[in-house]
Structure 1
């Protein structure tokens, strides 16, 4: 009987077939398929904003500019060819709805990151969902609380100004020029409360006298019983701390009551969309703050580049203040993705923390302890003449340059040094 001998190092046909079969099985295994799908799937950015409700115009601007940031990322090749996608949801300016939509974005849509919000209370609801699930959230709405240790997490970033910064800049300008007797008309929720707190804090430097604070619910349509009470206090300054349609209606009625004849009206935040919607008369002479105005393109090349890209994408329109925040909020996350070379959360957090950037308004960076974007604050006044175009609605009176001294300290926010 002859015995077949297999040479050392050779592979029998049966073993070769077995090995090939195993390799084929490995190649099509669920793990391998899922890995490939994850690498090829778009980078999803959830974007919950109040498309319906009193802040709808500002929210639409946020979406448009966020889409521009995504388009630029994709046109530049994405992350090694992997493109990004903006997944928009309507939070209806309601914290409960925002939490539900954010949960849907995270668990159903499997978004990699979340950017958005346009309310102090709503962004806290979004942040609660994202931080519990280890998802980066970059807020593009004003809030003091989101920077505080009780609400903050390492996944929380804040691209927007906060009320302390905004009211501080406006207060330093107004209290030095218009007088010390101040009365307040305040939206009775977190945004209004935090703005007034900021005004009173900076007011200590100027020895202002607080004549009274009359509060109103969000969505008020008639201020006719409140404004005469404030007028009777005879303030030098009336500070109207509300936003959106509330601000438009309050300023229209204040104009009708003749309040501007003897009292300087200021607002912590003036919205481009609100000014356009209400018209020049209602906002005439009102002084306030904002994070961005397209007109600073003469000062910053980044503003000019942003304006030009927005014009090209949207038929010659110019970006607004809240639009710019949508752009900055999305772009900083995508730039961090490129810097990290990955969508892995911890790597992107580290990359975003280290950003020193100038994408649309001059230099910015995120403070390490609370991820607040340190940036300029513009003090502006509404105008109605000598306008270069239909978007030329504000005059920049002064600029408070980026400086951590204008922020609440990390210790005051509850962060350990």
Structure 2
């Protein structure tokens, strides 16, 4: 007669069977949420190095708190080359090879538009973190694309009250000659003309991105004898423009309104050469009294031993937004995630904001102030936070801006 298995062996065998059954379930429960992020890291390091740190801080905070429904976040970043074609190829690799659950990122507007188009065709969730062109949420908007930062239209509208109050008649414009710069210039001309019908646009300089020949550009503006300038240049182009205008004294007694020029990424490198009296959008991290920002500032300084830039805010809030959306959706199913993002409420370093269902634009705002010198460097003085919702078209107006099929 065959001897029966000892009780301990039977128990051990049962435990092994149960463990074998349970392992896949446990693995599924702990499977990371994979965020595929692409950006122009080599082309725009001033903004995107702090942006990457902001993302990493958010990932660490979320994972330290147990992840999202028990699942940790895994961030997979790639450089998009600053080129639309390369960006689409990178997005495809992230989706097919890396099998990411969502896409996020991009900086340059024409690159963001390319990835948004890809997301719409492939039905992949995409959170455009930084690109500002209005087309992303309006003319070229689609069900699968959302945008975090205040758009070109929004930031121009934030600056418009100061431009109108200045009551200057002869305006000149200077901007980088690609989607962001072109749309900013057109929006400014349209909105200012509506508010001040007698305004004249006496000069317009569209310059190659990152390749500004500042001397001829500044001289052309000076020759037009404007009494006001709308500037859209940023990064190294902005620095070249400011220094050349100062050398030639081309903007003396000229009122200047400037997009993004109060962001530390672009203002700080100018140091004592920073312009004085420009009305700008930006990020005065040193003068923000919002409780959520104080918490963020302390955590960022503790993590990196440095102060944040606006890129830090954008990166951090991008990850926090995706986490909030996945938590609301109960997972990473694309259709459920899109539904969750429509009307999603998020608490960021600038306080609460919402992703609108009508156009997928976040209502996060921006700061408007005037440039000044303090302790040998440029700052924003008297900054005021402008809520994004206050400068957005109504949901009814969006219907005329956004394709019905999307």
- Would you call these one fold, judging by a TM-score over 0.5? yes
Q: Distance in 2 between matches of 1:379 and 1:407?
A: 19
Instruction: Find the counterpart in structure 1 of residue 374 from structure 2.
Output: 385
Distance 2:154 2:76 in 1: 30
- The Cα offsets for residues 274-327 of structure 1, whole Å up to 9 and x where unpaired, read as 11123231433332113x4323531x1111111111111111x22211221111
1:148 to 138, 155, 171: 138
The C-alpha deviation readout for 1:189-241, integer Å capped at 9, x for no partner, is 10111111121122021232211212111122422112111112111111121
Pairing 1:308–2:294 present: no
Name which of 229, 252, 255 aligns with 1:264. Answer: 255
- Structure 2 length-normalised TM: 0.87
**C-alpha separation between the residues in 1 aligned to 2:302 and 2:210?**
35
Q: Which of 74, 78, 82 is the equivalent residue of 2:71?
A: 82
Aligned to 1:12: none
* Equivalent runs, 1:70-149 vs 2, <5 Å: 70-141=59-130, 142-149=132-139
Structure-1 residue corresponding to 2:356: 367
Residue aligning to 2:4: none
Matches of 2:246 and 2:292, distance apart in 1: 37
Aligned-pair Cα RMSD in Å: 2.7
State the Cα deviation string for residues 17-64 of structure 1 (Å, max 9, x = none).
Answer: xxx9xx97xx67xxx95x7655432111112111112x2110111111
Aligned residues: 387
For structure 1, the 5+ residue unaligned runs are 1-19
Residue 187 of structure 1 corresponds to which residue in structure 2? 176
Q: Is 1:294 aligned with 2:280?
A: no
How far, CA to CA, are the matches of 2:384 and 2:166 in structure 1? 13
Deviation at 1:365, TM superposition (A): 0.8
Structure 1 match to 2:6: none
Moved more, 265-274 or 61-70: 265-274
Secondary structure at the residue paired with 1:183? strand
1:378–1:396 contact (8 Å) kept in structure 2 = no
Instruction: Give yes or no for contact 2:274–2:373 (8 Å, CA) kept in 1.
Output: no
DSSP-derived class of the 1:145 partner: helix
- Relative to structure 1, the CA distance from residue 181 to residue 216 in structure 2 (aligned partners, 3 Å threshold; closer, same or farther) is same
Query: Which 5+ residue runs of structure 2 have no aligned equivalent?
Result: 1-12
Calculate the TM-score normalised by the size of structure 1. 0.85
1:351 to 333, 340, 359: 340
- Aligned: 1:212 with 2:203: yes
Cα distance in 2 for residues equivalent to 1:234 and 1:275? 26
**Matched-pair contact (CA < 8 Å) for 1:166–1:289:** yes
Aligned to 1:235: 226
| 2:215 counterpart SS class | coil
Asked if residue 169 in structure 1 is aligned to residue 155 in structure 2, the reply is: no
Aligned to 2:329: 340
Q: What does the per-residue CA deviation read over 1:372-396, in whole Å, with 9 as the maximum and x for residues that have no partner? A: 0113232122222258xx8x73224
